[in-house]
Structure 1
Amino acid sequence: MDENKRKDTSEDQALSLSDLLTFSGAYDHTLDAKGRIVIPNAYREPLGDTFVVSVTRDTKSIALYPNDVFESFIREINSLNKRKVAIQDYIRNVAKFTFLNSQMDNQGRVLLPAKLRLAKLGDAKDIEISGAFDHVEIVSSETARLNYERFNDPDHLDALLEEIGNMGFEQTDRF
């Protein structure tokens, strides 16, 4: 009987593909005159009523995080050795560009704060909004194009796959 309970529990905890890929796909958009973007319909419900506008983990792009995902991110940061200058610098810059309790308006638009927008998008008006599994990333269309070209460079892709393989993932011909 206990074995059946354990089996049912583990099956309930198994994540579906849609759970793992909460945010996927890429959409081209334009910032409006007030610095707002329209959130694609596919991302609205998973983001929730309130969410966090911040930077990506590498701080190169703008990110929209569901609150629970951002909370996990902050827990990771808080576990780091804060005596190290590099960690202090990282925390300072992430905190500087983090805006809690962000919301969409009735038309599904969200304001990207001016300081964050200028730092990560410059004066770009054309942007790409893309899924990154557990969060949404926002970059200029030009940055998206350059990232795509770099990713598709055979030398870069080989090096990337080798690095991933060194992390313990098996490289197969299936993917």
Structure 2
Amino acid sequence: MLVGTHEHRVDSKGRVVLPSRFREGLGEELIATVGIDPCVSIYGLGGWEGLFNRLSSLSSSRASHRDLKRLLMASAVQVEPDSMGRLLVPSYLREHAKITRDVYIIGVGDHVEIWDREEWDRRRARLMDELPSIVEEVDGL
């Protein structure tokens, strides 16, 4: 289970350390792509195959389905941690996530997301304020 939050920095080469607990949970083969929100989503091979299968089952007759498939698939890249656990995050993914230097790496169950620290701080504060209504909307926990 991929849960928790870790603070890190992106180095001058665009690399970020993926915490060992997340590396163990994701496995050795990793796929990075644009997140639905302004973040980078990282999947292990099993999680990526599940997402791929869900995307493949979408109707190609609907423009929104085709566009979602195109965007997630075209943005996907295989990434490999180096011996120090660092991942090179391509510049187009860092740009999508508005990542500059300081990041949070968060576990969200089936994958990991990399967020710009300021962006996540703002998002988290808003979500905390809205938590009661969010829980109500999803019909409790």
Normalising by the residue count of structure 1, what TM-score does the alignment of the two structures yield? 0.76
For 2:122 and 2:8, the matched residues in 1 are separated by 17
Which sections of structure 1, spanning at least 5 residues, go unmatched? 1-21, 166-170
Q: Which of 131, 136, 139 is 1:162 aligned to?
A: 136
**Counterpart selection for 2:118 from 116, 130, 142:** 142
String of CA shifts for 1:101-134, please: whole Å, max 9, x gaps: x210001001001111112225x21110010011
Structure 2 unaligned spans of 5+: none
User: Would you tell me which structure has more strand in proportion to its own residues?
Assistant: 2
Q: Which residue of 1 aligns with 2:42?
A: 64
Provide the TM-score with structure 2 as the length reference: 0.93
Aligned partners of 2:28 and 2:44 also within 8 Å: no
- Count of residues in correspondence between the two structures: 141
TM-superposed CA distance for 1:61, in Å, is 1.7
Aligned residue for 1:112?
89
- CA 1:61–1:144 in structure 2 vs 1: closer, same or farther (change >3 Å)? same
User: Which of 80, 87, 94 does residue 65 from structure 2 map onto?
Assistant: 87
Query: Is the Cα contact below 8 Å between 2:38 and 2:96 reproduced in 1?
Result: no
Q: Which amino acid is 1:135 matched to?
A: H
Alpha-carbon shift at residue 64 of structure 1 (Å)? 1.1
Over alpha carbons, which structure has the higher Rg?
1
- Quick check: 2:5–2:107 contact (8 Å CA) kept in 1? yes
Contact 1:80 1:87 in 2 (8 A): yes
Higher relative CO (Cα under 8 Å, sequence separation at least 6) belongs to 2
SS at 2:104 equivalent: strand
RMSD: 1.4
Instruction: Give the whole-Å Cα distance in 2 for the aligned partners of 1:146 and 1:28.
Output: 15
User: 1:43, CA displacement in angstroms?
Assistant: 0.9
